[in-house]
Structure 1
Amino acid sequence: MTTPPYNTVTWFQVGSDKPEQIKKFYGELFGWSFRPYGSDDEGYDVIHYPGSEAPSGGIAHTPDSAANHATFFVMVEDVAATVAAAEALGGKVLNPPETAPDGLVSADLLDASGNHFGVFSPAPSA
């Protein structure tokens, strides 16, 4: 499996308060398959395209329809630098850079038109 280039959309997330319904919809429409990520109570499923080795996105289980969303994520080399550049270009920070226990760093932003997107740097290779 090859690593995608930086500054490309490499992950997406669909949030739904009806995750089983949305999995059925996308599964039948595009042939996607799903498996739970982590424990069953984490409320997240990863998405595999037909024939793919690695997941390409996720389904977040939201508490109600007000939190439903579809968001894309761009893989970058430096999340903090990207956040600063986005702000300089008129973007807004929704969630500042945060480091997950495995080392993945991510942030949520709004572009200059108010569209939500995310950036991340992958966890270091083991």
Structure 2
Amino acid sequence: MTQPAENTVAWFQIGSDKPAEVGKFYGDLFGWNFTPDPNTDGYDLITYPGGQGPSGGIMHSADASANHATFVVLVRDVAATVAAAEGYGGKVLVPPTTAKDGLVFAHILDPSGNNFGVFTPGS
């Protein structure tokens, strides 16, 4: 699988309190496929027909107040990117966090309040 270029949108996430319903919606609309993520409980991986691998995910939310759709950018160094974002007026929502598979991610608010993520892949 080819890794996307750094500093590009390389992942997206949909948070939903109705993951089966939203999965059916996007599956019917775009032909997307969904499988449970073996590394994260309550998360489904999204693949496109003809895609090389997962390109996004559905996070199972406890209630509608946590529903969202956000993009995630592949970066070289999550901690350095978070620090730079803070310097440019961003606010950290989720500090750098390491998943079971070594993936490191963080969530940031831009100056107008939009939530986005950054990550470096795991093994």
* Gapped regions of structure 2 (runs ≥ 5): none
Percent identity between the two aligned chains = 65
- What amino acid is aligned across from residue 12 of structure 2 in structure 1? F
Distance, in Å, in 2 between the alignment partners of 1:61 and 1:98 is 19
Aligned-CA RMSD value: 1.4
Runs of 4+ in 1 over 3 A off after TM superposition: none
Aligned position for 2:3: 3
The number of residues matched between the two structures is 123
Q: TM-score, normalised by structure 1?
A: 0.92
User: 1:38-96 deviations in whole A, cap 9, x for unaligned?
Assistant: 28x92111001111120000011111101111111000001111011101111000111
- What amino acid is aligned across from residue 51 of structure 1 in structure 2? G
Aligned position for 1:85: 84
* Gapped regions of structure 1 (runs ≥ 5): none
Aligned position for 2:37: 37
Aligned position for 2:110: 111
Distance, in Å, in 2 between the alignment partners of 1:96 and 1:75 is 16
Distance, in Å, in 1 between the alignment partners of 2:98 and 2:60 is 21
Distance, in Å, in 1 between the alignment partners of 2:30 and 2:61 is 22
